[in-house]
């Protein structure tokens, strides 16, 4: 049985059908089974659990052969955060996988490091370290930014208001990968025991600025609208003003500043050479699929 924590998310909604379509039994771990209802069916079970609550994981992981962590606590309000979900929650999930005798596939981020300016990247690094020290069979899949996440945000803004808001100057190149391509690599990691003990890094074909992504969204949607920029000083002010009352907004403002200034480019060639059969979706194709 393959357990997918995060099976209801952008990546998970592509990963679960990919695994089930290959004839593998899958159980989606979610805090709210209603969110997974559309995924349930032949070969897909749903279990209720929250990685912040270790007691909820024992039954959910019963019979597990592999556990996949495809979750994060970056953008939600409340007690959901990189510290509670990505750091402590992954540690709980790794502990439960060890007790169940299962292997573990951790979805992390390209650039995960102990001193990274984005807290999520530090928490992912901590989870990677916990997994490596756990003694169970492991594979880490690090991905760049998901095309679908950002294209969805921009398409929805364009649809709702005729405007796309770009955080900062929007002229810093960032590597974007399709969540569908990442799902295909994770499926390989699950089924190939030869990939245990390895860190696999995946990116997409292009490094694009947010201004370029906005232009591709406009072109693919066939609607120009306008592009508005939130200046960097306004992002600094937003991070500072919301830190105590809405920490998830502060996290997003700080991350936007980093994505507008830090080198976020990536060379996808090594992973593509190692896994030649993987899909290599570009931004326009990912947006066309979303709009369809």
Binding residues vs ligand NAP (CB under 6 A): 5-6, 8-12, 30-32, 35, 50-52, 70-73, 80, 85, 89, 107, 109, 143, 145-146, 149, 179
Nearer to ligand NAP, 60 or 235 (CB): 60
Tokens 């649809």 belong to 159
Nearer to ligand NAP, 76 or 223 (CB): 76
Is residue 105 a contact partner of residue 186, using CB atoms and an 8 Å limit? yes
Nearer to ligand NAP, 93 or 162 (CB): 93
Nearest approach, Cβ of residue 151 and ligand NAP (Å): 11
Nearest approach, Cβ of residue 222 and ligand NAP (Å): 25
Nearest approach, Cβ of residue 255 and ligand NAP (Å): 10
Is residue 3 a contact partner of residue 102, using CB atoms and an 8 Å limit? yes
Nearer to ligand NAP, 10 or 231 (CB): 10
How many residues comprise the chain? 292
Residue with the closest Cβ to ligand NAP? 9
Nearest approach, Cβ of residue 281 and ligand NAP (Å): 14
DSSP label at residue 208: E
Nearer to ligand NAP, 25 or 54 (CB): 54
Handedness of CA 215, 220, 223, 228 (dihedral sign): negative
Alpha helices in 2-138 (DSSP H): 12-21, 57-60, 90-100, 119-132
Strands 103-109 and 138-143: parallel
Nearest approach, Cβ of residue 168 and ligand NAP (Å): 17
Is residue 188 a contact partner of residue 247, using CB atoms and an 8 Å limit? no
Q: 38: helix, coil or strand? A: coil
Please spell the DSSP secondary structure of 71-99, one letter per residue.
---SS-STT--IIIIIIIIHHHHHHHHHH
Strand partners, 228: 165
Nearer to ligand NAP, 142 or 229 (CB): 142
Nearer to ligand NAP, 10 or 130 (CB): 10
Nearest approach, Cβ of residue 141 and ligand NAP (Å): 9
Strands 226-230 and 163-167: parallel
Nearest approach, Cβ of residue 144 and ligand NAP (Å): 6
Tokens of 279: 């899909």
């Amino acid at each position: 049985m393959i357990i997918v924590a995060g099976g209801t998310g952008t990546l998970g909604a592509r990963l679960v059908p990919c695994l089930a379509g290959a004839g593998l039994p899958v159980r989606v771990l979610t805090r709210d089974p209603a969110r997974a209802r559309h995924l349930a069916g032949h070969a897909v079970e749903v279990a209720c659990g929250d990685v912040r609550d270790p007691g909820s994981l024992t039954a959910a992981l019963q019979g597990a052969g592999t556990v996949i962590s495809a979750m994060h606590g970056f953008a939600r309000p409340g007690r959901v955060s990189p510290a509670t979900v990505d750091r402590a929650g992954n540690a709980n999930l790794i502990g439960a996988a060890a007790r169940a005798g299962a292997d573990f596939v951790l979805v992390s981020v390209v650039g995960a490091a102990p001193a990274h300016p984005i807290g999520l990247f530090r928490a992912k690094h901590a989870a990677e370290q916990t997994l490596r020290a756990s003694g169970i069979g492991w594979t880490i899949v690090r991905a760049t930014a998901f095309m679908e996440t950002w294209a969805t945000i921009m398409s929805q803004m364009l649809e709702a208001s005729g405007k796309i808001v770009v955080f900062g100057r929007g002229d810093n190149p960032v590597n974007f990968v399709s969540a569908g391509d990442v799902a295909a690599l994770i499926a390989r990691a699950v089924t190939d025991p030869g990939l245990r003990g390895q860190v696999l890094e995946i990116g997409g074909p292009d490094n694009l600025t947010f201004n370029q992504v906005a232009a591709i969204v406009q072109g693919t949607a066939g609607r120009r609208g306008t592009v508005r920029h939130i200046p960097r000083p306004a992002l600094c002010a937003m991070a500072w003003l919301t830190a105590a009352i809405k920490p998830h907004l502060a996290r997003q403002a700080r991350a936007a500043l980093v994505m507008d200034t830090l080198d976020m480019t990536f060379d996808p060639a090594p992973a593509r050479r190692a896994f030649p059969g993987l899909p290599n979706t570009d931004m326009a194709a990912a947006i066309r699929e979303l709009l369809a």
